[in-house]
Amino acid sequence: MTTPSHERGPGAADVDLPTQYQPANVEGRLYERWVESGHFTADPGRRPDAPAYSIVIPPPNVTGSLHMGHALDHSIQDTLIRRRRMQGYEALWVPGMDHAGIATQNVVERELAKEGRSRHDLGREAFVDRVWKWKGESGGRILGQMRRLGDSVDWTREAFTMDDRRARAVRTIFKRLFDDGLIYRAERIINWCPRCLTALSDIEVEHDEREGELVSIRYGSGDDAIVVATTRAETMLGDTAVAVHPDDERYAHMVGREIELPLTGRRIPVVADAHVDPAFGTGAVKVTPAHDPNDFEIGRRHGLPIMTIMDERGVVTAHGPFEGLDRFEARPAVVAALREQGRIVKEVRPYEHAVGHCQRCSTVVEPRVSLQWFVKVAPLAEAAGDAVRDGRVAIHPPEMAARYFEWVDNMHDWCISRQLWWGHRIPVWYGPDGEVVCPGPDEEPPAGWTQDTDVLDTWFSSALWPFSTLGWPDETADLRRFYPTSVLVTGYDILFFWVARMMMFGLYAMDGVEPFKVIALHGMVRDQFGKKMSKSFGNVVDPLEWIDRYGADATRFTLLRGANPGGDVPVAEEWAQGSRNFCNKLWNATRFALMNGAHVRGDLPDAADLTTVDAWILSRLHRVAAEVDARLEGFDFAKACETLYHFAWDEVCDWYVELAKVQLADERAGTTRRVLGEVLDTLLRLLHPVIPFVTEELWTSLRGGAAGETLVTASWPVADPARHAPEAEALVESLQRMVTEVRRFRSDQGLKPGQRVAAAIDFAGSPLAAHEEGVRTLLRLTEPGEGFSATASLPVEGVTVRLDTAGVIDVAAERKRLEKDLAAARKDADQARRKLANESFMAKAPEAVVAKNRDRLSQSEADIERLESQLAALPSA
């Protein structure tokens, strides 16, 4: 679309930008052009002298779709990678997905259930084929959604945790860990989901505060009686001891004796164990090693028998009247039986406690003793802690390091086996006589031997992500060039689980070389009131809806403006609307520049040839460039975006463009066109990593649409201190204060912003006199004509502006306002004088407080002078 000539300034050319920015007409077209041109594809052999920069994307689940957490995470990573690309780095951002063992198996099993079948009807091999088919047809929707957000990932290197290369990496590291004695199989207590019928890792268990019932039960009788309290009465059927603290004198005579376990006819010992808190409850606890992790450890220390009283579905298997009851049915039945025997010491009462639930199906998790595969984490976790302690890996923000150490310094052995069919099958085979072998990825197991039926925890394969995506275990060019990766961007909520595992495996597999140099942690996206987003709260926001409505740039900008290091990120739809308006503001400013012949060809004029206004905006531009650069380097995206927003909107659009209109109409036009082009060119470069689409469309238009030019590979702005112009900045700031004060007066009088008012301006030798035309343009002030009579006088910045507001303002209301302000100023001045005249105050007050009162007095006296002058200038009533 070409702008009509009557809308353009002198020296302008035709403008091809539409009058309004429509994201839908720009985003898809630009993204495909970027991908097809290979701008996101890294080459390890290209530019060997260029520094390398790499990020591996936290792999989203193959079952997932883009949510606000992803949008924030990806916007941060894209900002980092785009900026490094512009800085001349050989930059690689690796995309990919996680196979999400439990979630994906559940999805396909639900499909089968609709057909009236289960996975067992298909058999293992056919079921796994069915999952691969689902993945090919329906999985990975999020990859397309990443394109809509603008992710500049290298699609030629797309990875999947179950593809052949990743499978080879899994087999390799399992073999090494196994041979080094760091993987073992044992009966241990683990998190068990009675619905998914599999072990769960800690991260797959979500704990919610729930109201349960605390029951106090008397074990034994007479002098041998001990009272214990529990929220899970049904587990008493599997008790094999009662434990007390070794120093608890109340029970010293009981230690080593046996007491009767109610309802069972069994007798169990009383043991002394330091784990027991003597101040909690009665100071005695029941010990059920098969169904509580703490009890399991007590049982190991004291050689207690392990009695499993539930099957894998949570059904009671203990012989007796409760056999066959579900665990939640057995609980009230056991309490009723105990009450009947007079064993309930206190009536059941409510008790708030944390209850673990399966992350995938929300079933209450059951601690269960089971034969599983484990990683011995102690040496691996120690190395992961040392890498941060000695500075090889930095955590941003630094205060998050304490959480990291809390996790790695207290890590338990990692249960890595899952009772699923979808996933990396454990590469261990069993012989006919109980032999065990773990062949490497290039070795065949002995003929006729049976492979373990379990699969590996999904987090096992994703722990290899920083190096398996670069080709490990092969010595690839990517691995040599891009490992260790530069930064890991992720939410603080998985610092303990995924990040720590990557650190352990990266250091182990890569001979002590850390998997990333920096861990940059961000918070959770919340609603505008700081509330967690949840379907049950009805406050979940779909980022794709915002992209449809406001554009990808507005969605990204909204998220990044709230991304303070490590802090949660509140969002609201009106903020997305404001971000869209910001994009439109840039659009309109660039159209104005093009309509008036702005360009970026040729060198900038020397500083001596610049007007004060041009020197000011270039000085501010280079200060902003330096600040934004420092903020992005420190992962402070919120402050970087805030700086860019206010510079673009307030200084460039609201001040410089308006002042430039005067210069574009006279002999200064050539210089101003070049400066205006330079400012927009640099501003769009600075904004591009954050809002890539609108900046690309505007920048290429500003550059004349030259073939092959793109912001993706344009150079990143480098601040030039030589462009700093303190005198020009001071003068324009004075002009801004003057204009702002007169605008405030106009607003107080109810004058519309566009309403013209006759005024005489006495500059009294002020350097602002050179900018009279600009001042009049900004303030909508006309020259005083015949019959001019000032009704208001405003002394501001050494300049007096006399306005003829007769018939325009309410003089009585203005006098009343000024008198009120004058009374307040006099009161402030009197208070400051009294303090400064008080010898006791002056002797005791800190110098900073004294200085503050002096400044207060000085400001109040200036206000009094200004207000008295304005009152004197008002016409008499």
The percent of residues above 70 in pLDDT, for the chain, comes to 96
- Mean pLDDT of the 110-119 span: 94
Residue 2 in this model has a pLDDT that exceeds 50:
no
What is the DSSP pairing of strand 266-272 with strand 226-230?
unpaired
Closest CA to 695 of 592, 582, 790, 800: 582
| Six-digit token string for 165 | 């290369």
Q: How far apart are CA 759 and CA 747, in angstroms?
A: 16
Give CATH 3.90.740.10 domain extents, the chain: 198-366
CB 374 within 8 A of CB 188: yes
Closest CA to 663 of 655, 725, 836: 655
Residue 571 in this model has a pLDDT that exceeds 90:
no
Please state, as a whole number, how many other Cβ atoms lie within 10 Å of the Cβ of residue 796.
19
Closest CA to 715 of 84, 37, 152, 91: 84
Q: How far apart are CA 498 and CA 256, in angstroms?
A: 44
Q: How far apart are CA 417 and CA 198, in angstroms?
A: 9
DSSP result, 576-616 = HHHHHHHHHHHHHHHHHHHHTT----SPPPPGGGS-HHHHH
**HSE of 629, CA atoms in CB hemisphere, 13 A:** 17
pLDDT at 89: 98
Residue 566 in this model has a pLDDT that exceeds 60:
yes
What are the beta bridge partners of residue 310?
316
Residue 3 in this model has a pLDDT that exceeds 70:
no
Q: How far apart are CA 462 and CA 278, in angstroms?
A: 42
- For residue 622, the surrounding DSSP H or E stretch is helix 612-633
What is the DSSP pairing of strand 394-396 with strand 52-56?
unpaired
What are the beta bridge partners of residue 94?
56
Which 3-state string (H, E, C) describes 716-739? CCCCCHHHCCHHHHHHHHHHHHHH
pLDDT at 353: 64
Q: How far apart are CA 714 and CA 472, in angstroms?
A: 33
Average of per-residue pLDDT values in the chain? 91
Which 3-state string (H, E, C) describes 153-167? CCHHHCEECCCHHHH
Closest CA to 364 of 373, 372, 355: 355
Give CATH 1.10.287.380 domain extents, the chain: 756-873
Q: How far apart are CA 500 and CA 411, in angstroms?
A: 10
Q: How far apart are CA 692 and CA 131, in angstroms?
A: 37
Please state, as a whole number, how many other Cβ atoms lie within 10 Å of the Cβ of residue 471.
19
This prediction has a pTM of: 0.84
Residue 297 in this model has a pLDDT that exceeds 50:
yes
Tell me phi and psi for residue 314, to 5 degrees: 80, 25
Q: How far apart are CA 455 and CA 27, in angstroms?
A: 42
- For residue 367, the surrounding DSSP H or E stretch is strand 366-375
Please state, as a whole number, how many other Cβ atoms lie within 10 Å of the Cβ of residue 362.
11
CB 796 within 8 A of CB 741: yes
Q: How far is CA 870 from CA 127, 315, 737, 795, in A?
A: 86, 87, 17, 7
Which range is least confidently modeled, 166-170, 207-211, 562-566, 856-860? 207-211
Give first-to-last CA distance, the chain, whole Å.
57
Dihedral sign (CA 98, 99, 100, 103): positive
Q: How far apart are CA 508 and CA 502, in angstroms?
A: 10
Closest CA to 241 of 224, 259, 229: 259
Find how far residue 411's CA is from the centre of its chain.
Answer: 25
CB 366 within 8 A of CB 234: no
Q: Which residue has the higher pLDDT, 806 or 768?
A: 768
CB 673 within 8 A of CB 11: yes
Candidate CATH numbers 1.10.3720.10, 3.40.50.20, 3.30.930.10, 1.10.287.380; the one for domain 756-873: 1.10.287.380
Give CATH 1.10.730.10 domain extents, the chain: 5-17+561-724
Give the annotated binding-site residues: 535
The percent of residues above 90 in pLDDT, for the chain, comes to 70
pLDDT at 536: 61
Residue 698 in this model has a pLDDT that exceeds 70:
yes
Residue 814 in this model has a pLDDT that exceeds 70:
yes
Q: Determine whether 136 is exposed, middle or buried from the number of CB atoms within 10 Å of its CB (0-12, 13-18, 19+).
A: exposed
- Name the band, by pLDDT with cuts 50, 70 and 90, for residue 350: low
The helix/strand/coil state of 189 is: strand
What are the beta bridge partners of residue 462?
none
Residue 614 in this model has a pLDDT that exceeds 50:
yes
pLDDT at 6: 34
Q: How far apart are CA 288 and CA 298, in angstroms?
A: 9
What's the pLDDT tens digit per position in 146-189? 999 999 999 999 999 999 999 999 999 999 999 999 999 999 88
Give the annotated binding-site residues for ATP: 535
Q: Determine whether 443 is exposed, middle or buried from the number of CB atoms within 10 Å of its CB (0-12, 13-18, 19+).
A: exposed
Cα–Cα–Cα angle for 334, 339, 342, rounded to 5 degrees: 130
Q: Determine whether 345 is exposed, middle or buried from the number of CB atoms within 10 Å of its CB (0-12, 13-18, 19+).
A: middle
Q: Which residues fall within 8 angstroms of residue 227, CB to CB, at 6 or more apart?
A: 216, 217, 218, 219, 282, 284, 345
Q: How far apart are CA 193 and CA 314, in angstroms?
A: 9
Query: Cα-Cα-Cα-Cα dihedral of 20, 26, 27, 28, to 10°?
Result: 140
> Ranked by mean pLDDT, which of 16-25, 337-346, 652-661, 786-795 comes out on top?
652-661
- Mean pLDDT of the 127-149 span: 94
- Name the band, by pLDDT with cuts 50, 70 and 90, for residue 516: very high
What's the pLDDT tens digit per position in 441-492? 999 999 999 999 999 999 999 999 999 999 999 999 999 999 999 999 998 8
Q: Could you tell me which CATH number the domain at 198-366 has?
A: 3.90.740.10
What's the pLDDT tens digit per position in 222-271? 888 999 988 889 999 999 999 999 999 999 999 999 999 999 989 999 99
- Mean pLDDT of the 486-506 span: 89
pLDDT at 15: 65
Q: Is 220 left (phi over 0), alpha (psi -120 to 50) or beta?
A: left
Residue 784 in this model has a pLDDT that exceeds 70:
yes
The CATH-assigned architecture of domain 5-17+561-724 is Orthogonal Bundle (1.10)
DSSP result, 656-703 = IHHHHHHHTTSTTHHHHHHHHHHHHHHHHHHHTTTSHHHHHHHHHHHT
Residue 5 in this model has a pLDDT that exceeds 50:
no
Residue 765 in this model has a pLDDT that exceeds 70:
yes
Q: How far apart are CA 372 and CA 198, in angstroms?
A: 10
CB 217 within 8 A of CB 343: yes
Q: How far apart are CA 568 and CA 164, in angstroms?
A: 38
Which range is least confidently modeled, 197-201, 324-328, 740-744? 197-201
